[in-house]
Amino acid sequence: MFDQIIVFLTLLLALFLFAQGRLRYDLVALLALLSVTLTGVIDSQDAFLGFGQPQVITVASILVITRGLSNSGIDEVITRLLESVSSRSTSVQVLSLTTAVAVLSAFMNNVGALALLMPVTFRMSDRAGIPVSKLLMPLAFGSLLGGMTTAIGTPPNLIISGFRQEVKGMPFEIFEFTPVGLGVAVACILFIGIVGWRLIPLRKAAGSGEDLFSIEEGYVTELRVPPSSVLANKTILSLEHLVDVDATIVATIHDQHRRYNPSGTTIIRPNDVLIVQATAKDLTEMTAKMGLEMVGSKGLSMRDIRSDEVILSEAVVKNTSPLVYRTVRDINLRGRFGINLLAVARQGARVEERLREISFRPGDILLFQGPTERLSQTIQSLGCLPLPQRDIDFIKGEKRPFLALGIFSVAIFLTALGYLPVHLSFPAAAVAMVLTSLLSLRQAYQNIDWTILILLGAMIPVGQALEVSGGAQTIANFILQFSGTSHPLVSLGLLMVVTMTLSDIINNAAAAVLLAPIGINIASALGVSPDPFLIAIALAASCAFMTPIGHQSNTLILGPGGYRFTDYWRMGLPVQIIVLATAIPLIWIVWPF
């Protein structure tokens, strides 16, 4: 009984921290693991066995393969295919995009599939004159729906396969999720394409740098430095010590020569012209205290603060970014990376706080200025996703989509035919992509989301603690008592509702780890096969449609789509109802009790 109390208290605290979002979910998972280990619920020798599970290496391999597919130029092939069905009809656009991302996310990382098609989405929006806010949410939902259809489509499916192997001695095969998952995905995609997109509120979205980060309102201004100015013959870094304003010098003009993104050691000469980014209030204060002369922003455009060597780029802050809940002052972008942060937008509107005081959140859009050859790498190292149709070309070199597809297809066929397990065939595919130069070894390591691997490795023993303590049986008994003596489908439906609710507020992999032992115990108590309950949990864990925090795909479109937190349930709630209405009878048919 003591062990159960420890486990339940640990899980309640972990769920609170997951939902609050102040701590990264990998850190929360490690805290939960330490809690059940230090209190003796699980043996210290078994604490880190979760990191050796096949699911962990499989997820890492899929992330590497996703980068290889992205580097190969497959997005250009997809763009041409989608352009062939181009139409001014919003329903056709939504159906084609949602179907495409669902197919991709069935075999690659959900976020990777979303990132691959975001540029296509923006181009289709511009060409057809459709608000991008009507397209991005269906795109994100499609990436979740596609993951339901195969064992490798999303981490919850891999986790559920691992639990099935423990119970029955064999995991789910790669396409055993397909009959139910595909039926659910098709039903939901049809709803989204015909009705669902109409439920999405029309929001101001991030269409382009000029649209979202306008400089016509005094945000970028030319200031001349008279000989009498206190800034004359001082370095740019000294600006921070001379006056307490939130201003960035994005370019200097000396003797008609324009220098973009000047370093902090650049000396400002008398009669130089500074192109300064700041709020109107800070510009006024800076001009008065430093004896500067305002030349004005008339005629300035984004071209005035960028060149072939110095560019601008917008990027979205991911959930796992080291920027989350930190400020510009904490990161020291200019000092560490030699780039400037010019503006921040949140939910489709520019944040008017002082830049140095803004605490970054997942989904924020950041406008960077920096050297061409450095900015792309910096954005990636900061854990941000570049917005499409900008200055940076992240995919360089020879495009070889068919080689990448060939390698990946061989891995899938070897797994489907039973020649190799997925935790061997997919690492082999990842290595093959590195050996064929589809991606570098450095890119392979950079593209592995270590937070999700740590989450998986830490939460698997926590799920086992729930089982060995008897906590899973206690929860299972409660669900069975609530459902009474009715058909097992009632218990299965209740379990799906609980899983869906949990996945809307915490990571879906964590939800699968916690609910799988409960589903197994319910099946055991009813004297039926655990398979339908495990399939139901896997599907429900991917149903994070109600909030922007349940899945990274939802978070990444929050800023570019200009959405509000409450926008998601408008289409998400009907989608989750359709999932229940479709999945329960399909599970009954395909996986009889």
Name the E strands within 150-307: 220-224, 234-235, 247-254, 257-260, 267-268, 273-278, 293-296
For residue 173, give the H/E element and its range: none
Give the C-alpha separation, 257 to 271, whole Å. 12
Give the C-alpha separation, 260 to 253, whole Å. 9
Burial of 253 (0-12, 13-18, 19+ CB in 10 A): middle
Contact between 560 and 118 (Cβ < 8 Å)? yes
Assigned token pair, 107: 């075999």
Helix, strand or coil for residue 281? helix
Contact between 348 and 288 (Cβ < 8 Å)? no
Name 563's Cβ contacts closer than 8 Å, sequence gap at least 6: 133, 136, 137, 201, 203, 347, 348, 548, 557
Give the C-alpha separation, 304 to 2, whole Å. 67
* Mean per-residue pLDDT pooled into runs of 10, the chain (593 residues): 88 85 84 93 89 89 88 77 71 92 91 84 81 92 95 92 91 94 97 94 60 50 83 79 74 80 82 78 77 65 63 82 83 78 76 77 85 80 72 53 91 90 93 93 86 88 88 87 79 94 88 92 92 96 89 86 88 96 96 87
Nearest 5°: CA angle at 369, between 362 and 439? 70
Centre a 10 Å sphere on the Cβ of residue 23 and count the other Cβ atoms it contains: 15
Say what the pLDDT of residue 427 is. 94
For residue 129, give the H/E element and its range: none
Say what the pLDDT of residue 224 is. 85
Name 478's Cβ contacts closer than 8 Å, sequence gap at least 6: none
Length of the chain: 593
Please list the residues that pair with 108 across neighbouring strands. Answer: none
- Say which DSSP state 43 is in: -
Contact between 520 and 471 (Cβ < 8 Å)? no
Of 350, 376, 381, 352, nearest in space to 364 by CA: 350
Say what the pLDDT of residue 394 is. 43
Say what the pLDDT of residue 262 is. 81
What would the 3-class secondary structure string for 193-228 be? HHCHHHHCCCCCCCCCHHHHCCCCCCCEEEEECCCC
Say what the pLDDT of residue 205 is. 59
The pTM (predicted TM-score) of the whole model is 0.79
Give all domains of the chain, ordered by start, each with its CATH number.
2-205+420-590 (no CATH), 216-300 (3.30.70.1450), 310-386 (3.30.70.1450)
Say what the pLDDT of residue 287 is. 81
Give the C-alpha separation, 492 to 496, whole Å. 6
Say what the pLDDT of residue 452 is. 85
Give the C-alpha separation, 384 to 364, whole Å. 10
Say what the pLDDT of residue 471 is. 86
Sheet with 340-346, edge to edge strand ranges? 349-350, 340-346, 365-371, 310-317, 384-386
- Say which DSSP state 409 is in: H
Sheet with 247-254, edge to edge strand ranges? 257-260, 247-254, 273-278, 220-224, 293-296
